Chain A
């Protein structure tokens, strides 16, 4: 089956700024695809090109076999949900939802029924006569969603629809969005800069950086097998060990760190070993664990995260490693105590050290040793 939407070589600049620098992407029918990336990386621009609000400088957009280039936004078969809701303040909730139907000349009675269905779908039954300013942020976004769905678009575009809401509502609503998408078998492209949200909601995630795609994959792939240091650093918490390869191991400070993917790499090549906090363990009392790699350091502060506690271990003056501990039953470690952490040769991924990691998330250890 061919994809619903194909983006080929999309390129868009604003004056000097290259917002989107050549993107190829296929959105499959019925999938939930997220565009994830830091602020200014071009996510919104991609979405606006699909919706027709920006004209690409180069490249093609093909939807259901049809080139979109000459189609004005109002004739494209897409629905859009905006971060700022963009509800019409002069209309009631029902008026907003019925708007696209009214434009198409749908009969009043049919419209009314459809509005009721949609309100039920977004779990706001009976809210039809409310004015927009009488709604909370979460409710507004539900109405906006219902409105975007009213014309039954083949493709739903959402631009950070939840980022103006507080954490609790945000989580609640993202589950709802996912439910509705599944229920209606919709195809959705969802823009967010919140990696947790992207991983939680999507079938596939597209990680973008500076107008380009860094990696496309399922949430698990993105989290477990990042293909670039950028993705590794941007998604979740990651510890980085950078150093040259020496005899099939990574030379980090005066330690040889083992990883199965290092075997066979030529000596002297700069590599980075990336490890999630949950891929490392604290060795109790310095006694024997089974990990091949061991590091010792001083215990830093512990952050309580609910099910787990995250311990920061200082392995040098200003270099640290974050390690997850089960929160239950572990007494907080004294700061400054010497601790030993270990991890296996299968844990984490090894990436070439070609690029700097933007933001340097938790990763002072990334600096080359010495």
Chain B
């Protein structure tokens, strides 16, 4: 291993701090009674209490949880079978589909997706703009590049075709092959994808703010208002979102460690 010079080390520490320090800000703020000077003062849980007791914000928490869970569920139904199919395919068809899943989200930024959804679903045949359905669909859409990528990655470390054939030669029908061989092996990767989709959905602001009506006020939409109105409630919501991200990442780290251990 090559040495790391001390100048490089200092820069590295700064760059790590650049990520860690901002992450701590909402957390510290949310537990402080008062933070106007350099150091925060006091310890309190009242901002969290307010966040949870204020009807608008507590309702938005429920909405966000419903939306995120639905986006995960939809992704499981849509992206996992697709990932499985892609893993079984070769050559041009597979390359095309992978490219679609990879490039579409790049060339279609959230603001464009939001505009397009708004235009397409404000009237017949499907007038769902402004409803929670629209938000769920938007979040599913935003999540599935990640879901597909994770699913494909876990299928790729697995020789799906050979394992399927082995199971088949041992007498397993299609259902049994999926149930006992394929799914248990991809479950950790799929679960990691699900966590990612969940975390993205919980924090999504851009598209949501464009397509959500009054009944689909998610947590980030409330946060947006509170940043202007009341930094203390905003801090509690922000901190909560940091926790969700953290938990999802701990989960993913744990899953990948588990996978590494199992593969040896």
Of the candidates A99, A100, A151, the one having the most CB atoms from chain B within 10 angstroms of its own CB is A99
Residues 68 to 121 of chain A near chain B (Cβ within 8 Å) = 72-76, 78-80, 82, 84, 86-90, 99-100, 103-104
Answer yes or no: B263 CB below 8 A from chain A CBs. Answer: yes
Chain B residues, Cβ within 8 Å of A133: 262-264
Q: Are A89 and B169 in touch, CB under 8 angstroms?
A: no
Which residues of chain A have C-beta atoms less than 8 A from B166's C-beta? 80, 82, 86-88
B159 touches A53 (CB 8 A): no
Cα A207 to Cα B127 in complex, Å, equals 68
A86 contacts B185, CB within 8 Å?
no
| A contact patch SS | mixed
Per the 8 Å Cβ criterion, residues 70-126 of B in contact with A are: none
| Residues 244 to 262 of chain B near chain A (Cβ within 8 Å) | 262
- Enumerate B9-36 residues with CB–CB distance to A below 8 Å: none
CB distance from B139 to the nearest CB of A (A): 31
B44 contacts A by Cβ under 8 Å: no
Per-residue CB proximity of A45-87 to B under 8 Å, as 1/0?
A: 0000001110000000000000000001111101110101011
In the bound complex, what is the Cα–Cα distance between A308 and B185 (angstroms)? 51
**Contact bitstring B124-140, A, C-beta under 8 A = 1, else 0:** 00000000000000000
Min distance, Cβ B175 to any Cβ of chain A, angstroms: 11
* Among listed B176-184, B190-198, B224-232, interface-contacting one: B176-184
A75 to B172, CA, bound (A): 9
User: For residue A87, which residues in chain B have a CB less than 8 angstroms away from its CB?
Assistant: 166
Interface size class on chain B is 20 to 34
- Cβ–Cβ < 8 Å partners of A100 in chain B: 170-171
Interface of B, secondary structure class, is helix
Contacts of B167 in A (CB 8 A): 88, 99
Give the complex CA separation of A151 and B170 in angstroms.
7
Chain A residue nearest to B185 in the complex (CB): A90
Q: Say yes or no for B165: interface residue by CB 8 A criterion.
A: yes
- A13: Cβ under 8 A from any B Cβ: no
Given known A90-B185, A134-B264, contact A74–B169 (CB-CB < 8 A): yes
The answer for the CA separation of A147 and B163 in the assembled complex, in Å, is 13
**Does B53 touch A at the CB level, under 8 Å?**
no
A186 within 8 A of B: no
With the chains together, A159 CA to B185 CA distance in Å?
24
- The size class of the interface chain A forms with chain B is 20 to 34
Contact of B170 among A52, A72, A103 (CB under 8 A): A103
* Chain A residues in 8 Å Cβ range of B62: none
Chain B residues contacting A79 (CB-CB under 8 Å) are 169-170
State whether B262 touches A89 (Cβ < 8 A).
yes
Chain B residues with Cβ under 8 A from A90's Cβ? 181, 184-185, 262
At the interface, yes or no: A148 with Cβ under 8 Å from chain B? yes
Whether A82 contacts B162 by the Cβ 8 Å rule is: yes
- Given A86-B162, A90-B181: A148 touches B264 (CB 8 Å cut-off): no
Please tell me if A174 contacts chain B, counting CB pairs below 8 Å. Answer: no
Given A86-B162, A89-B185, A90-B181, does the pair A80, B169 have CB atoms closer than 8 Å? yes
Is the CB of A227 closer than 8 A to any CB of chain B? no
Alpha-carbon separation in the docked complex, A53 to B158 (Å) = 19
- Is B181 a contact partner of A131 (Cβ separation < 8 A)? no
Min Cβ gap B163→A in Å is: 6
Q: A99-B170, A103-B176 are in contact. Are A88 and B262 (CB under 8 A)?
A: no
Closest A residue to B165 by beta carbon equals A53
A40 and B81 alpha carbons, distance in the complex (Å)? 33
Q: Is the CB of A73 within 8 A of B176?
A: no
Residue in chain B with minimal CB distance to A100: B170
Assuming A80-B165, A86-B162, A99-B180, is B185 touching A131 (CB within 8 A)?
A: no
Determine the chain A residues whose CB is within 8 A of the CB of B169 once the complex forms.
51, 73-74, 76, 78-80, 148, 157
Distance from A100 Cβ to chain B, minimum over Cβ atoms (Å):
4
Which residues of chain A in 112-152 are interfacial with respect to chain B, using CB atoms and an 8 Å cutoff?
131, 133-134, 147-148, 150-151
Q: A176 CB to closest chain B CB, in angstroms?
A: 20
A74 and B165 contacting across the interface, CB-CB below 8 Å: no
Residues of B within 8 A of A147 (CB): 170
Q: How far is the CB of A234 from chain B (nearest CB, A)?
A: 28
**Chain B residues with CB under 8 A of A157:** 169
Binding site for A on B (CB under 8 A): 158-159, 162-163, 165-173, 176, 180-181, 184-185, 262-264
28 contacts between A and B (CB under 8 A): A53-B165, A74-B170, A74-B172, A76-B169, A80-B166, A82-B162, A82-B165, A82-B166, A84-B159, A86-B163, A86-B166, A88-B163, A88-B166, A88-B181, A89-B262, A89-B263, A99-B170, A99-B172, A99-B180, A100-B170, A100-B171, A103-B176, A104-B171, A133-B262, A133-B263, A133-B264, A134-B264, A151-B171
Known A-B contacts: A74-B168, A99-B180. Give 6 more (CB < 8 A): A51-B169, A74-B173, A82-B165, A86-B162, A88-B166, A134-B264
Query: Which A-B residue pairs are the 8 nearest by beta carbons?
Result: A133-B264, A86-B166, A100-B170, A80-B169, A90-B184, A73-B168, A86-B162, A103-B171
